Amino acid sequence: MSLANPRFEDSYARIFGSDIGMDGRADAFFNAFYDRFLQDDSIAAMFANTDRERQVVMLKKSLFQLVTYYVVGEPNAELDRLAAVHDRIGIDPNAFEVWMQALIETAQEFDSQWDEATQLAWCWALAPGIAYMRLMSQQSQTRRSEQP
């Protein structure tokens, strides 16, 4: 991975290894993230009847797509598909902020060299994709509310 955000790239590598495919180290990270994400009551209610293993796989894919958006600078078909899935299941646009906060807190837990600059680097890298997902959700809600 070659980004114009070396603090993010270095932190990402410390957490997941240098392989973008995310080896076994990712399992502990995503399980910790999922536990943290579900601490929010509204999120826990949305995911009450989901398969945890399947959800962890989806979380991995979601992070990969957000990083891809950052690297490429535009959404791809898979990110569009994820946005459509989130819309179809009725994810509240505010859930993306909870997702981001849980991710940042989990990254901090797993990166032994975490500092404020690293946190900013993660936010800088992932904010475009989060903003895109949130915007797609808000636009879809607006279209539904305008229909007779």
pLDDT at residue 1 is higher than 60 = no
Q: Sign of the C-alpha dihedral, residues 36, 52, 96, 62?
A: positive
Distance of alpha carbon 84 from alpha carbon 99, whole angstroms: 17
pLDDT at residue 48 is higher than 50 = yes
Q: What is the mean pLDDT of the chain?
A: 84
pLDDT at residue 112 is higher than 70 = yes
pLDDT at residue 124 is higher than 90 = yes
Cβ-contact 55, 47 below 8 angstroms: yes
Cβ-contact 102, 6 below 8 angstroms: no
Distance of alpha carbon 66 from alpha carbon 127, whole angstroms: 8
Distance of alpha carbon 95 from alpha carbon 45, whole angstroms: 12
pLDDT at residue 87 is higher than 80 = no
Write the CA distances from 110 to 11, 101, 140, integer angstroms. 9, 14, 35
Check residue 19 and report its DSSP letter. -
Q: What is the mean pLDDT of residues 17-46?
A: 80
Q: What are phi and psi of 91, to 5 degrees?
A: -70, 130
Length of the chain, in residues: 148
Q: Tell me, what's the pLDDT at 19?
A: 55
Which residue segments constitute the domains of the chain, with CATH numbers given?
Answer: 9-141 (1.10.490.10)
